[in-house]
Amino acid sequence: MSRARAPGAAAGAAARSPLMEQYLRVKRDQPDAFLFFRLGDFYEMFFEDAIKGAALLGLTLTSRNKQDPQPIPMCGIPWHQRDAYVARLLRLGHKVAICDQLEDASQARGLVERGVTEVLTPGSVVGDSFLEPAANNFLAALWPTARGPAACFLDVSTAEVKLAARLSAALAGLPGARTVLVAERFSGSGRAAERWPDARGVLDALPDAARAAAAALEYLDRVQGGTALALTRVERWSEDEALRVDDATARHLELFRPQPGGEGEHTLWHHLDLTVTAPGARRLRAWLERPLTSLRAIEARLDAVEAWGRAGAGRSAFRESLRGLADLERLAARLVASRATPRDLGALRDTLARLPEIATALGARPDAAAGEARAALAVEPSLLALLRGALSDEPPPVSREGGVIRDGHDAHRDHLNELAHSGKRWIAELESAERARTGIGSLKVGFNRVFGFYLEVTRAHLDKVPVDYERRQTLTSAERFVTPALKAKESEVLGAEEKLKAREHELFVALRDACAAHAPALLAAADALGRLDAEAALAEAASRYAWVRPSMDDGDALVLEGARHPVVERLAPAGTFVPNDLTLESGTRQILLLTGPNMGGKSTYLRQTAIIVLLAQAGSFVPATRARIGRVDRLFTRVGAADRLGAGQSTFMVEMKETAEILRSATPRSLVLLDEIGRGTATYDGLALAWAVTEHLHDGRGPRPRTLFATHYHELTQLAGRLARLANVQVTVREKGDDVVFLHRIAEGAADRSYGIHVARLAGLPETVLARAREVLHELESERTAEHLSQGVAHAPAAGSAAAAHAAAPRAEAGPRATEPLPLFAAAEHPLLDALRASQPERMTPLEALALIDRWKKEWGGG
């Protein structure tokens, strides 16, 4: 391939080409965007855009001016496939500028005029082809402050704005902003208040977030041409209003995305999203991203879900009435941004016509909340009447090609339409008239965009052509002619058609503006539909999956009976999932230390607990037979192994960073789920860290959050005798010879084995490897047993002694304690060991041996 040139380096060669000069002028204004440059039926990219674009989009890289020593790299896409390719670039985080032809190439004199008509960025698009229906598309703007950045999260496609005084509060619920802006300057926070006067109170209360919003508006105005978010819904976010779920926790729980190598059905979202409409799916996702902490708000949402659950057939009828509705929320946003198409208006008309039916279906919910929703669905009837009277039955995708406006809506448009169609009828009748006049049975009337209308005669009949025929074009097998009458009618028809298209576009714009004036009512209706759809979907999930309403309170108890994992249960064969109970309570049972075999279900137990809490505080019923949940403020998980090598972080470093964040941020109201701590380093290092972390979470120096800790460090089970609020629980198994059966049942007490070799056999390790592993395990366990016996002889207090009573008593909780030696790490040897080594039992008589043992007992046995 020839060496590529940057636009600047190519200026000399490009100067010889007016087209390249035009391209370079446009590109200079869009240096950070892929420039799609319209040439006829293709959008072309040149220079570095072509090289990068071809690689990202899988296009063939070719070149312009191949004879030049340094040809210009280029690649292209068909114009009608533009959106598909733009969407791919946007998903990769790139910016795209669309440079269109601003005049008809057939009528241009010289070079066709071109200019940028759209600038598309991941966080500013409004077209459905660029957006995920079930998720918001947020643009984040950050404003630096001494306390940390304030934030504005803004979705242009739905006219939603979320303001937060501090970044952590905002990011807790929006981990996936498509574009992030860090503001360096702004024209004044008053710009946001001017654009959103209804939100003045929120903006005044959050001045730093208002500055972030102003910076976001400046950015959007640059890329959207000054029409960004003229109408919006502004909401204030506070850290205390939502159960905070960080990125790591959402990833570990597979809420929306599966773990690497997983499938979509492995996510909670796959099974929970039973919504019917796109606004309903976005609303439900938002509830799951930011579960509530207000008991009053949680109970209100649970009441609505329960009401839909009782509705039964009424719920089914309501959900059926929603099917096929347009995305009213995004449609209203496009109306305000002047981006709605004729088909959008057609979808609006059809949706408005169905709102009365939906309101009637709401009769299944006689409560006050449903009454408010019915009022929101009562959009001004005049809007539907206007659309029905003005819009054609099947509007086209674009407004400049005609076919948009219904007959009878506008007298001038109807006159132009009659002129155009009467001329076309005359031309259609001309063919039969000319065949009769000339006697040429194969004569045809046709149209070409370059030459216009013509009469085509094959070469075999040229001798029959009348004298008034004027030759217009010569083909291989035929000649094309015009007549003075045909030219006159052509001028009349084409003139009328162009005027008709222009008039229809003018009427369409006026109709779109009239619809935009109703945008607040449309957004209110969309908001009601989305909420009702999300509530009904949660009720549907509860009905299908046999979930129950949780009992929520302000206490610190977490009691689950018959708890199940909502995803694993769905994927397992019917009836095979084993439910389990759980009891956590900060005062008496704060930490559960969970031990047991691999494949026994420890991770499932942890994850199902977290998901049940999250579902409950999102306002959903939960997979259990009974659930009592004391409100949780933050949910933490430390699960699995992952590295971030690109950031220079090993698996163990990631594990320690996540653990450190838990220890820094957890509160007494938090729920902490730990699935292994310290397994990524040396055994004693890891065990020491796990031991210390457990003590920190338990004792008076730490936050005392409710904690589930699954571990293979069985030595930690000793802590149950030292920490008053720690209890051991285990995953049970049944042994059958060399085989084990995983019962997946959680029981009180500590496990003493992990059955790793059994799991390795199930995984298919060679039998020779397994046999050797058993030998090594036996040797290691024998050595450990001997070590523990020696330590027990050395340090075990005599039964009934004061020392024994002290060791068995729970450790005092008040204040920090002095560092104590950990029993599993005791190192000093007892003098009895030296005496044993010095003895020679082979030379003793039985009587002498008994006498020696009696002396040892009197000396060191305490008897």
Could you tell me if 626 and 562 are in contact, meaning their C-beta atoms sit under 8 angstroms apart?
yes
- Between CA 126 and CA 137 the distance in angstroms is 9
Residue 188 lies in a domain: yes
Higher-confidence residue of 13 and 412: namely 412
In this prediction, residue 199 carries a pLDDT of 85
Tell me: do 138 and 102 sit in the same domain: no
The answer to whether residue 748 sits within a structural domain is: yes
Query: What are the tens digits of pLDDT across the range 345-354?
Result: 999 999 999 9
3-state secondary structure 50-117: HHHHHHHHCCCCEEECCCCCCCEEEEEEEHHHHHHHHHHHHHCCCCEEEEEECCCCCCCCCCCCEEEE
Q: Which of 498, 529, 544 is the last residue of a domain?
A: 544
| Mean pLDDT, rounded, for 370-388 | 94
Q: Give the dihedral sign, CA 377/381/383/386.
A: positive
Boundary (domain end) residue, out of 55, 88, 120: 120
Q: Which of these, 747, 599, 614, lies nearest to 249 by C-alpha position?
A: 614
Residue at a domain's end among 120, 154, 185 = 120
Give φ, ψ of 604 to 5 degrees.
Answer: -60, -40
**For position 818, what pLDDT does the model report?**
45
Q: Domain check: are 685 and 789 in the same one?
A: no
**Same domain, yes or no: 680 and 551:** yes
Residue 481, SS3 per DSSP: strand
Contact 165, 150 (CB under 8 A): yes
* Confidence tier at 592 by pLDDT (50, 70, 90): very high
**Residue type at 349?**
R
- Between CA 42 and CA 59 the distance in angstroms is 13
Are 539 and 550 in a shared domain? no
Beta bridge partners of 471: 481
Q: Based on the fold, state whether residues 626 and 732 are members of the same structural domain.
A: yes
Are 661 and 626 a contacting pair, CB within 8 Å? no
Residue 105 lies in a domain: yes
| Contact assessment for residue 32 and residue 15, using Cβ atoms and an 8 Å cutoff | no
pLDDT of residue 181: 86
- Note whether 592 and 697 are same-domain residues: yes
Q: Per-residue confidence at 862, pLDDT binned at 50, 70, 90?
A: low
Q: What is the pLDDT of residue 507?
A: 96
Is residue 116 domain-resident? yes
Question: Are 559 and 684 part of one and the same domain?
Answer: yes
- 472 and 531 part of one domain: no
| pLDDT tens digits, 464-505 | 999 999 999 999 999 999 999 888 888 887 788 888 999 999
Specify whether 495 is located in the same domain as 540.
no
- What pLDDT sits at residue 812? 42
Interior CA angle at 305 toward 169 and 524, to 5°?
Answer: 65
pLDDT number for residue 808:
40
Instruction: Indicate whether 597 and 728 sit together in one domain.
Output: yes
Q: Taking the mean position of all CA atoms in its chain, how far away is CA 39? A: 36
Give the chain's end-to-end CA distance (angstroms, integer): 94
| Beta-strand pair 160-164/150-155 | antiparallel
| Range with the largest mean pLDDT of 37-41, 594-598, 616-620 | 616-620
In a domain, 625, yes or no: yes
Question: For 246-250, 538-542, 667-671, which range has the lowest pLDDT when averaged over its residues?
Answer: 246-250
pLDDT of residue 852: 81
Spatial distance between the Cα atoms of 308 and 363, rounded to a whole number of angstroms = 11
765's tokens: 């390790």
Pairing of strands 233-237, 160-164: parallel
Q: What percent of the chain has pLDDT over 70?
A: 87
262 within domain boundaries: no
Q: pLDDT-derived band of residue 794, with 50, 70 and 90 as boundaries?
A: very low
Query: What single DSSP character describes residue 366?
Result: -
Whole-number Å distance between alpha carbons of 659 and 638: 7
Q: Considering only CA atoms, which of 105, 94, 102, 98 is closest in space to residue 27?
A: 98
- H/E element, 152: strand 150-155
Work out how many domains the chain is built from and give that number: 7
* Host domain of residue 146: 129-241
Give the model's confidence band at 5: pLDDT under 50 very low, under 70 low, under 90 confident, else very high.
very low
**504-530 pLDDT tens trace:** 999 999 999 999 999 999 999 999 999
Residue 18's nearest CA partner among 116, 98, 102, 114 is: 114
pLDDT at 664 over 80: yes
Mean pLDDT of the chain: 85
> What average pLDDT does the segment 596-622 reach?
94
Whether the predicted pLDDT of 590 surpasses 80: yes
DSSP 8-state code for residue 649:
B
Identify which of 132, 467, 104, 115 has the alpha carbon closest to the alpha carbon of residue 282.
132
pTM for the full predicted model: 0.82
Q: Are residues 310 and 222 in the same domain?
A: no
634: part of which helix (H) or strand (E)? strand 634-638
Mean pLDDT, rounded, for 85-103: 92
Is 450 found in the same domain as 321?
no
Nearest to 318 by CA among 266, 277, 375: 277
Neighbours of 359 (CB within 10 A): 19
Q: b vs e for 593-622, b when ≥16 Cβ sit within 10 Å of the residue's Cβ? A: bbbbbbbbbbbbbbbbbbbbbbbbbbbbbb
Q: 515-552: b or e for each residue (b if 16 or more CB lie within 10 Å)?
A: bbebbebbbbbbbbbbbbbbbbbbbbbbbebebebbeb
Residue 808 within any structural domain of the chain: no
Mean pLDDT of 180-206: 77
Residue 402's φ and ψ, nearest 5 degrees, are 80, 180
Residue 446: inside a domain: yes
- CATH number reported for the structural domain that contains residue 570 in this entry: 3.40.50.300
CATH of the domain at 211: 3.30.420.110
Residue 14: predicted pLDDT: 47
